Amino acid sequence: TKFVYDFTEGNRDLKDLLGGKGANLAEMTNLGLPVPPGFTITTEACKTYLGSGEEPAALRDEVSAHLEALEAAMGKKLGQADDPLLVSVRSGAKFSMPGMMDTVLNIGLSDKSVQGLAKQAGDDRFAWDSYRRLIQMFGKTVLGVDGELFEDALDAAKTAKKVTVDTELEAADLKKLVTKFKRIVKTEAGRDFPQDPREQMDLAIHAVFDSWNTDRAKLYRRQERIPHDLGTAVNVCSMVFGNLGPDSGTGVAFTRDPASGHQGVYGDYLQNAQGEDVVAGIRNTVPLAELETIDKKSYDQLMQIMETLENHYKDLCDIEFTIERGQLWMLQTRVGKRTAGAAFRIATQLVDQGLIDEAEALQRVTGAQLAQLMFPRFDDQAKVDQIGRGIAASPGAAVGKAVFDSYTAIKWSRSGEKVILIRRETNPDDLDGMIAAEGILTSRGGKTSHAAVVARGMGKTCVCGAEELEVDTKRRRMTAPGGVVIEEGDVVSIDGSTGKVYLGEVPVVPSPVVEYFEGRMHAGADDADELVAAVHRIMAYADRVRRLRVRANADNAEDALRARRFGAQGIGLCRTEHMFLGDRRELVERLILADTEAEREDSLKELLPLQKRDFVELFEAMDGLPVTIRLLDPPLHEFLPDVTELSVRVALAESRGDANENDLRLLQAVHRLHEQNPMLGLRGVRLGLVIPGLFTMQVRAIAEAAAERKNAKGDPRAEIMIPLVGTVQELEIVREEADQVIAEVQAAAGTNLRLAIGTMIELPRAALTAGQIAEAAEFFSFGTNDLTQTVWGFSRDDVEASFFTAYLEKGIFGVSPFETIDKDGVGSLVKSAVEAGRATRPDLKLGVCGEHGGDPESVHFFHEVGLDYVSCSPFRIPVARLEAGRAAS
């Protein structure tokens, strides 16, 4: 294998091997752009080194050969005393990663060659400045010396000289600083700063390799689900100098605004500076546009190059460049990060410019970005007082009074206050507090911390790991930088999409994208409308190409209408249990308590017209579109009073001697219906089989509602869905009874109602016997929530708050299987059930209901296994439409 590639040998498709930086440096070199020559050591070399602790045998010679070629091209040798070639050693993995080693510039300088450099450049100050930078960077990143020691020494030198910026230090000062820096290295690292240039280079290369496995890098990879075995490449690049005086400098640029997507001149420039000075904020940068007056020739060339890059990459690029005495050099480019809004705008702008087609535009945006645009957000016109920033763990904009424990969160929220729960970190005891709060803020922990995982599961706004905020739960206060103290009850605002934390109430504005989906906003000219127009176009592409249909989980007409506005093509799951609550609870209690058949029939008879009315409304809202109604699913105890409350009531009444007969019977029933594992108990189809008349009442309500709609010239398309079926026999029995009821209603109404009967596939046994079940089912709807619970053998409510964070941290899951479908396990059951079901009944309709139906990655999976539709909550419908389009294009 070849371990080293010259910049002229690589290209942008070799990111696996050359890392992002190396691949793009090669690409720019081949485009004929001015890139300082250099070479890249591959990720393969890194992997070998990390695996065995030694670099591959051939590497040293290959590096030597490439270095010699570089020296020949540049006409000078690395570290040569009278005219040194200097290089930078730069890390560069496939994905850019904070926590990886920093770049070391100016490698090749030594006590001797610093003199040569000074003479060649005719500038002592520059040479000593470069040398002190090398020792500083090398000391910190290669030898592990605390960087502050160097910074303190630099500050001391400035103070001694009574100057404020480093450019005011003269050659003699810098020379003294070099001596001091070398002493720091010697004391801290226990060795001299290496004077041999090749040794400097080799040590730096190894340090880059090693930095792949720092704790921070590992943590970051786990959080971002980047595989641990990719390794990093190392780039060795000949130095160009932005610190050679006022006609030199360094800068960053974007080919368009990463926040808005607008074309224009975006970036920063700093005269007489090297490397990280621009981002480090040591001196004030100037807007890139000012480069035009500073150095018109370089500016024009840069604009030209930016255009070349955009046309070549057909996307927004960001760029690092340096100007050395009027000569422009490109040091890095990549397809740039952007905000969610800019992603949509840029995609459509590029279509309009003819750079990409619509299919490509679809790949340039994601469902996650669309979801982000749908959250309400803080008004960006508002005056804000930012006090900290953490990790954007779960999106949304939340405002409330600071509380520091769950008990207070619950107490205050019960009395109608909005609260933000602030903890150092959360644990399972905080669950109720988290539910009660508008949002959650923690000062510790990352994206897989308890707070982050649970908040995302609940769809609650969360900022975590805001480390500069000091949370003192005992004293119920939090201290922000600058000594700002937030006491319990003070209002704070947290932005789960940016991680920013504000003091006071920041006004919230609805998302323009939601306003658009709701039909309250149309394309126009101002900023929000431009975004809306872009979203509108991308959604139109997605709808045109997608094969999957998208339905909504909706239980009432109001949700159904909203879902329709959001683009739902039917209802995939209408839960009927909500129709048994509220003031109907009493009827349900009577049904459960019924001692005689007559009593039971009475209560069912009373429930019938109520259910029917619900369905009429639903069919009307979804006229012409399919509506899948799930017959009663939850365990009956959920309809009865809480056992503790009831026991207390009964006990109190008994002590007063006026025990209520009904309460006593209720209590008996509660005890009788108590189950150790209700999730696995008497529920779903089992209810229909043991409570005579229950399911047939529901079927009758559906059929009569459909008949009524037909009479009113409507187009009802009901589908009756039986939950929790494990064997075809269960389904057959229920089906027989249902068919009979339907026949009766049809006869009375004198019309064919075309009611389909199908089942949920949410138990492993159902999936495993799908071929048999399809004999009695006209459709399957995969209930992937329950299927995940039963396949894994864990109950969601219990495990998400208890051990999921540990599992995520240990890397057992990359993501909760309730968030994204577990393809290997649950997914393979779905896949085989699809095949078996279709083998029995080729026209079997197949869908999925449950939260996975609105999860981007899962939607792609459902597309691949050939489902007909996904069903999700109304709010996720646009995301599902978009991802279905992306999956198909």
User: Which residue out of 849, 852, 863, 872 is catalytically annotated?
Assistant: 849
- In the annotated binding site, the residues are 575, 630, 762, 783-786
Q: Residue 748 burial (CB < 10 Å; 0-12/13-18/19+)?
A: exposed
- In the annotated binding site for substrate, the residues are 575, 630, 762, 783-786
- Sequence-ordered strand ranges (E) for 325-455: 327-335, 377-378, 386-389, 391-394, 397-403, 419-423, 439-442
Residue 276 contact, options ligand ADP, Mg ion, none, Cβ 5-8 Å cut-off depending on partner type: ligand ADP
User: Which residue out of 450, 852, 860, 863 is catalytically annotated?
Assistant: 450
Binding-residue pattern over the window 274 to 313 for ligand ADP, x denoting contact by CB under 6 A = -xx-------------------------------------
Q: Which stretch binds ligand ADP (CB under 6 A): 26-34, 179-187, 233-241, 379-387?
A: 233-241
Least Å distance, CB 347 to ligand ADP, is 26
Q: Which residue has the tokens 């224009």?
A: 264
Q: Which H/E stretch holds residue 529?
A: helix 527-545
Q: Which residues pair with 871 in a beta bridge?
A: 551
Nearest Cα neighbor of 629 from 548, 731, 688, 555 is 555
Q: Is 272 in the site for ligand ADP (CB under 6 A)?
A: no
In 750-803, where does DSSP find H-type helix?
764-768, 770-773, 784-792, 796-802
In angstroms, the CA 333 to CA 317 distance is 6
Residue 237 contact, options ligand ADP, Mg ion, none, Cβ 5-8 Å cut-off depending on partner type: ligand ADP
Residue 783 contact, options ligand ADP, Mg ion, none, Cβ 5-8 Å cut-off depending on partner type: Mg ion
Q: Which stretch binds Mg ion (CB under 5 A): 266-274, 366-374, 778-786, 824-832?
A: 778-786
Which amino acid, one-letter code, is at 178?
A: V
C-beta of residue 435 within 8 angstroms of C-beta of residue 800: no
Which residue number, 268 or 589, has a Cβ lying nearer to ligand ADP? Answer: 268
* 745-764 positions binding Mg ion, by CB under 5 A: 762
Hey, is 551 helix, strand or coil? strand
In angstroms, the CA 682 to CA 696 distance is 18
C-beta of residue 235 within 8 angstroms of C-beta of residue 89: yes
Q: Is 16 in the site for ligand ADP (CB under 6 A)?
A: no
Q: Which stretch binds ligand ADP (CB under 6 A): 238-246, 431-439, 609-617, 754-762?
A: 238-246
Residue 322 contact, options ligand ADP, Mg ion, none, Cβ 5-8 Å cut-off depending on partner type: ligand ADP
Least Å distance, CB 36 to ligand ADP, is 5
In angstroms, the CA 509 to CA 522 distance is 17
Which residue number, 320 or 324, has a Cβ lying nearer to Mg ion? Answer: 320
* 547-576 positions binding ligand ADP, by CB under 6 A: none
In angstroms, the CA 675 to CA 688 distance is 18
Q: Which residue has the tokens 């001091």?
A: 180
Give the neighbor-by-neighbor strand order of the sheet with 104-107.
4-6, 38-41, 232-238, 87-93, 104-107
CA distances from 406 to 80, 102, 411 (A): 66, 42, 9
% helix / strand / coil in the chain, to the nearest 5? 50, 20, 30
Tell me the Cα Rg of the chain. 33
Contact residue for Mg ion among 400, 635, 693, 783 (CB under 5 A): 783
Q: Is 332 in the site for ligand ADP (CB under 6 A)?
A: yes
Contact residue for ligand ADP among 149, 237, 791, 821 (CB under 6 A): 237
Q: Is 211 in the site for ligand ADP (CB under 6 A)?
A: no
* 322-361 positions binding Mg ion, by CB under 5 A: 332
In angstroms, the CA 885 to CA 889 distance is 6
Residue 786 contact, options ligand ADP, Mg ion, none, Cβ 5-8 Å cut-off depending on partner type: Mg ion
Catalytic-residue membership of 849: yes
Which residue number, 236 or 859, has a Cβ lying nearer to ligand ADP? Answer: 236
* 98-157 positions binding ligand ADP, by CB under 6 A: 103, 105
Could you tell me which residues come within 8 angstroms of residue 280 by beta carbon, excluding any fewer than 6 positions away? none
C-beta of residue 87 within 8 angstroms of C-beta of residue 239: yes
Angle at which helices 585-593 and 661-673 pack, to 10 degrees? 70
Which residue number, 99 or 376, has a Cβ lying nearer to ligand ADP? Answer: 99
Residue of minimal Cβ distance to Mg ion: 786
Which amino acid, one-letter code, is at 277?
A: D
Which residue number, 248 or 408, has a Cβ lying nearer to ligand ADP? Answer: 248
Q: Is 6 in the site for ligand ADP (CB under 6 A)?
A: no
Which residue number, 277 or 559, has a Cβ lying nearer to ligand ADP? Answer: 277
Q: Is 328 in the site for ligand ADP (CB under 6 A)?
A: no
* 90-109 positions binding ligand ADP, by CB under 6 A: 90, 103, 105
Q: Which residue has the tokens 């308590």?
A: 593
Residue 239 contact, options ligand ADP, Mg ion, none, Cβ 5-8 Å cut-off depending on partner type: ligand ADP
Which residue number, 99 or 678, has a Cβ lying nearer to ligand ADP? Answer: 99
Q: Is 553 in the site for Mg ion (CB under 5 A)?
A: no
Beta strands 508-509 and 500-503: pairing type?
Answer: unpaired
Nearest Cα neighbor of 631 from 581, 574, 585, 583 is 574
- In the annotated binding site for Mg(2+), the residues are 762, 786
Binding-residue pattern over the window 64 to 93 for ligand ADP, x denoting contact by CB under 6 A = ------------------------x-x---
In angstroms, the CA 607 to CA 238 distance is 82
Q: Which residues pair with 263 in a beta bridge?
A: 256
Which residue number, 131 or 404, has a Cβ lying nearer to ligand ADP? Answer: 131
Binding-residue pattern over the window 289 to 328 for Mg ion, x denoting contact by CB under 5 A = -------------------------------x--------
Least Å distance, CB 157 to ligand ADP, is 23
Least Å distance, CB 96 to ligand ADP, is 7
Q: How far is CA 257 from the centre of its chain?
A: 22
Which amino acid, one-letter code, is at 188?
A: E
Catalytic-residue membership of 450: yes
Residue 535 contact, options ligand ADP, Mg ion, none, Cβ 5-8 Å cut-off depending on partner type: none
> What would the two tokens of residue 3 be?
């371990």
DSSP tally for the chain: helices H, then strands E: 36, 31
Residues that bind ligand ADP (CB under 6 A): 36, 88, 90, 103, 105, 237-240, 275-276, 320, 322, 331-332
Residue ranges that bind Mg ion, judged by CB under 5 A:
320, 332, 762, 783, 786
> Any idea which residues carry the catalytic annotation?
450, 849
